[in-house]
Chains A and B, each alone.
Chain A
Amino acid sequence: MTVETYPWAPGFVAGDRPRIVTSRFEHEDSHTLERYMATGGYEGLRAALAKPAAEVHEQVRGSTLLGRGGAGFPAGVKWGLTPEGVYPRYLVVNGDESEPGTYKDRLLMERDPHQLIEGCLIACYAAGLSRCFLYIRGEMALAQERVATALNEAYAAGLVGRDILGSGFGVDIVLHWGAGAYVVGEETALIESLEGNRGMPRLKPPFFPAAIGLYGKPTIVNNVETLSNLPFIAANGAEAYTAIGTETSPGTRMVAVSGHVRRPGVYEIVNGTTTFRDLLYGEEFCGGIRDGNELKAFVPGGGSAPWFLPDQLDLPFEGRQVGAAGSMLGSGAIMVMDSTTDIPAAALTLTRFYAHESCGKCVPCREGGTWLMRVLERVVAGEGTTDDLDLLLEVGQSICPGDMPHASSEALGLEATPFPYKMTTICFVGPSAYVPVHSALTLFRSEFEERVAPSRSRTRIPVVAVGGGQ
């Protein structure tokens, strides 16, 4: 088996595996229209336009293409949730990739922008969407540049805009970029941001974007990777797609493995069958833990995911099984910690991230996230007490009441608690500040206890001062 890293696609590691979305990455000029056309470009669009829109939608439904943004909702089903007869409808492409550990959408935008554009066109055609907004994360200057160039090329070539390929189908793709706010990746916040507002999530239900979204109209929000799969499906059919991967998780997935492995990188893997052990230890993937160290723990699905221990290595990269084991696949990002890792400090980096990225709307997230961060900072600095450890869990309960999902551990005698959790917030940013605290404290409590002094008598302050006279 060959393992190859392409210098012009940092992070990306090729291999002798089926490839759907990264098939052009070995070409240095993979982002140009010329190369795209020379490698089957816009064939999927042509094939789609030759069929009635409903048939293309059916094809995507049949492919069981799962959303790659985090929630894993089937794209074909989502498109079908738009209310009958309400127009205009919009497509919003979620290219805001900011989840800690996640690295794939940026590659797809930088390395194969036309594939994404073609995917957008197919989605608009199939679901009757009359305008597409391609929202790229603000900090990704190169991706913005590559997509802008590709769009200019595509407009000039009659591939985007009015009357595409003489078919009567026409749609504009408007490039838009953000300005630095993780929470904007959440689809309702993305819509707010696109409307020119502060990126604060809207509550859903009652209104999912597919029913009431951008400008109050039905809106499909799809991830960059999700859409990048569409040219393949449209060109080769749903069967060719479902032939790869498993029935519940067909196709391939891009997974970024970072942290303490020998060969960190972005891998396109076969969905549903590849195990974490394959990924972390396989020679065609990461090739084991760095410096021959032991694996201590890993985060299986982006910074919001509860942590796994070596006990979970043999689980396949498949949503339901990972959920039952107490975590989630999220955005396809694995972060690996070896035996040298300072666990409380590692948890703090994530809690700090989510506290900092809180939009400020929900009280538990705005106040609780920062509170958790402050206490944890104290603990990491060696200034905490054992009571602080309990306090962390109690504050966490105000964000996520009830049982928290966590992994099983033979050594600790722990049974797994399945994903998901209950939450008092609108979106997952609030709970995500607590997840690493909870995982670290549940799985590595002794490392915290070594850090803190025994309990002092706890300060308790009456919550309200009462004015005289009452």
Chain B
Amino acid sequence: MSRFSAENLTLAREIVSRYPRPKSAVIPLLHLAQEQEGWISEEAMREIAELVGVTPAEVRGTGTFYEMFHFEPIGRYLLNICGTMSCALMGAGELMHAAEEELGVRAGGTTDDGLITLHGAECQAACTEAPCLQVNYRYRFRVTPDGVRQLIADLRSGALSDEIPPHGTLATVRQHIPSDRAVGAVDPDVDTAPPAWIPVTVEGASS
């Protein structure tokens, strides 16, 4: 079962409607699929293709460009250890060693119990808090090797299951545009009038 749930299908349609062209919703919908299943199946890509009116090949072309989408099942927790300059200068290498040792998998691997996938990551925009890492895109700053071991223990014991949702969920709050407040998306090729608050000066005339 990897088609959208009824609820997510409604949400997906709402997301599509926010964009002047449906294809813009490809990335949001891939996120939605990943939120629902933890990863993105071929069937999910087919469904997204249908929803936005492109071919599945196009959806896959877009999806595989981006790092965060996973096209095979991965762990419930994705542990991303940053290894770019600032973190590298501050000891990211040791963190990675500690994590590899503790998890018994190399970077890129998933633990046998399917709980944790370990990845090396690129700069996470927390360089002043180096070395840092993310678990399902939730930050941990100035992490020590011991800190990594503790984190893994907490993930295993379930101590963090309230704080950290399963892989695929990013923001836990979604934007909702109330229909009575929305300006709405218009076709850029059809509605080419200037916005109402801009005085028009076509051939000297003004409104």
Contacts and interface: CB of A to CB of B under 8 A. Distances in A.
B27 A145 contact: no
Interface stretch (A153-161, A367-375, A403-411, A442-450): A153-161
B13 to A, nearest CB: 15
Nearest to A200: B65
Given A10-B141, A195-B21, A179 B68 contact: yes
Given A88-B188, A162-B181, A357 B24 contact: no
Most buried by A among B122, B138, B199: B122
A88 B186 contact: yes
B174 A148 contact: yes
B197 A180 contact: no
Interface of B: 18-21, 23-28, 30-31, 52, 54, 61-63, 65-69, 80, 83-86, 88-90, 122-130, 134, 136-139, 141, 169-178, 180-186, 188, 191-199, 202
B174 to A, nearest CB: 6
Nearest to B176: A152
B66 A180 contact: yes
Contacts, number: 244
Contact of B86 (A158, A169, A259): A259
A325 interface: no
A100 B66 contact: no
The 8 closest A-B pairs by CB, nearest first: A180-B67, A179-B66, A161-B181, A196-B23, A196-B26, A258-B127, A144-B171, A180-B68
A303 interface: yes
Most buried by A among B66, B90, B197: B197
A391 B81 CA distance: 32
A117 to B, nearest CB: 11
Contact of A257 (B27, B123, B128, B185): B128
29 contacts: A11-B129, A87-B195, A100-B84, A101-B85, A101-B127, A102-B123, A105-B125, A106-B125, A138-B66, A138-B68, A139-B68, A139-B80, A141-B137, A144-B171, A155-B181, A158-B181, A161-B177, A161-B183, A174-B175, A179-B68, A198-B61, A198-B65, A215-B188, A258-B130, A259-B90, A260-B89, A260-B90, A346-B89, A353-B85
Interface stretch (A72-80, A124-132, A269-277, A416-424): A124-132
B127 A103 contact: yes
Interface of A: 10-11, 52-53, 85-88, 97-103, 105-106, 125, 128-131, 137-142, 144-145, 148-149, 151-152, 155-156, 158, 160-162, 167-172, 174-182, 193-200, 215-217, 256-260, 264-266, 299, 303, 333, 335, 337, 341, 345-346, 349-350, 353, 356-357, 359
Contact of A125 (B25, B68, B184, B197): B197
Contacts of B86: 100-101, 258-259, 264, 335
Contacts of B173: 145, 148-149, 152
Contact of B177 (A145, A155, A266, A349): A155
B61 A53 contact: no
B127 A335 contact: yes
A180 B80 CA distance: 12
Contacts of B128: 11, 103, 256-258, 264-266
A174 B18 contact: yes
Nearest to A157: B181
Contacts of A98: 122-123, 125
A333 B125 CA distance: 10
Nearest to A217: B188
Contact of A179 (B69, B83, B139, B184): B69
A463 to B, nearest CB: 30
Contacts of A349: 83-85, 88
Contacts of B183: 130-131, 161-162, 170-172
Contacts of B130: 258-259, 264
Nearest to A158: B181
Contacts of A198: 61-62, 65
Given A11-B126, A103-B128, A194-B24, A87 B192 contact: yes
Given A125-B197, A335-B86, A356 B27 contact: no
A156 B178 contact: yes
Contacts of A177: 27-28, 31, 170-171
Contacts of A356: 122
Contacts of B137: 138-141
Contacts of A102: 123, 125, 127
Given A145-B172, A259-B89, A128 B26 contact: no
Contact of A88 (B65, B182, B191, B196): B191
A151 B175 contact: yes
Contacts of B178: 155-156, 161
Contacts of B122: 98, 100, 182, 353, 356-357
B123 A148 contact: no
Nearest to A215: B188
Given A128-B198, A335-B89, A199 B84 contact: no
Given A156-B178, A161-B182, A333-B127, 10 more contacts: A99-B123, A100-B86, A103-B127, A130-B195, A169-B197, A177-B27, A181-B66, A217-B188, A349-B84, A353-B85
Contacts of B25: 196
Contacts of A167: 197
B30 A179 contact: yes
A181 B67 contact: yes
A357 B88 CA distance: 17
Contacts of B181: 155-156, 158, 160-162
Contacts of A260: 89-90
A215 to B, nearest CB: 4
